[in-house]
Amino acid sequence: MTKTQKRVLKFSIMFALVFAVCPTVSAMHIMEGYLPPAFCIAWGIVCIPFLVKGFYSIKKIFTENQKTITILAMAGAYIFVISALKIPSVTGSCSHMTGTGLGAILFGPCTVSILGIIVLIFQAILLAHGGLTTLGANTFSMAIAGPFVSFGVYALCKKCRVNKNVGVFLAAMLGDLFTYCVTSIQLALTYQNEGGSIVSSAAEFFGVFVPTQLPLAVVEGLLTVLIMMALENYAKPELKAIGFEKSV
């Protein structure tokens, strides 16, 4: 090998290393090790009541209402798919959606917290995405806060007699966005900017996330409407069994 060839080779290896080391991983959750232990534990504790409630409602589905297990599996699988897709956005960076809106509309927010935490554990262990130490915080934002907003928005739309598809769309979209609001607040509680106020730091983090997330939230809304339409067409008995659709 000539000297120049060697040099080229060395250079290319260095080039490769530099770019391989840049973490291209991760799109949304708070990364492993980015929250101090006290916060990790605190967020974990906040999640526990929701998870317990969710566990019992899932248990109830398995013992009393077996017909609806398929729909539950569907909602879980939907979160799996949606949160694995990293989608390019207008800001030139990628992010992914939460997918928790569907389950929240169908089963209520607590049930979704269990489905969400399964996905988060999967990603934290196998994909180095999110993390075990930040599991509590991520669970709270993605699997609890987001679904609660989705559920609330959908209920509100139903009460105001908004078109059902529009309601589903708004619920999924706002739930997705709110997940990022909560993530910003969580980060701001931990890291304040120079001025030191939590609100302005939260706004700053929010400013980083929102432009990327907004189009994705719209995509999530649209996809959720699609899958709800499919379910309404083909799974009426199940939807009735979970009390989603009372009159046909």
Site residues for other proteins, 137-196, by CB under 8 A, read 165, 183, 187, 191-194
- Cβ-count burial 56-88 (b if 16+ within 10 Å, e if not): ebbeebeeeeeebeebbebbbebbeebbeebee
Rounded distance between C-alpha atoms, residue 150 and residue 165, angstroms: 13
Rounded distance between C-alpha atoms, residue 163 and residue 124, angstroms: 38
Of positions 39, 78, 107, 140, contacts other proteins by CB under 8 A: 78
Question: Residues in contact with other proteins, total (CB under 8 A)?
Answer: 78
Of positions 90, 156, 166, 199, contacts other proteins by CB under 8 A: 90
3-class DSSP state of 161: coil
Rounded distance between C-alpha atoms, residue 194 and residue 85, angstroms: 35
Kindly tell me which of 78 and 107 has the beta carbon lying closer to other proteins: 78
Please report how close the Cβ of residue 77 comes to other proteins at its closest, in angstroms: 4
Q: Is 17 in the site for other proteins (CB under 8 A)?
A: no
Please report how close the Cβ of residue 111 comes to other proteins at its closest, in angstroms: 17
Q: Is 16 in the site for other proteins (CB under 8 A)?
A: no
Kindly tell me which of 62 and 234 has the beta carbon lying closer to other proteins: 234
Rounded distance between C-alpha atoms, residue 206 and residue 200, angstroms: 10
Q: Are 216 and 89 in contact (CB under 8 A)?
A: yes
Mark the segment that binds other proteins (CB under 8 A) among 4-12, 60-68, 77-85, 148-156.
77-85
Q: Is 219 in the site for other proteins (CB under 8 A)?
A: yes
Q: Is 12 in the site for other proteins (CB under 8 A)?
A: no
Kindly tell me which of 57 and 91 has the beta carbon lying closer to other proteins: 91
Q: Is 245 in the site for other proteins (CB under 8 A)?
A: no
Q: Are 204 and 214 in contact (CB under 8 A)?
A: no
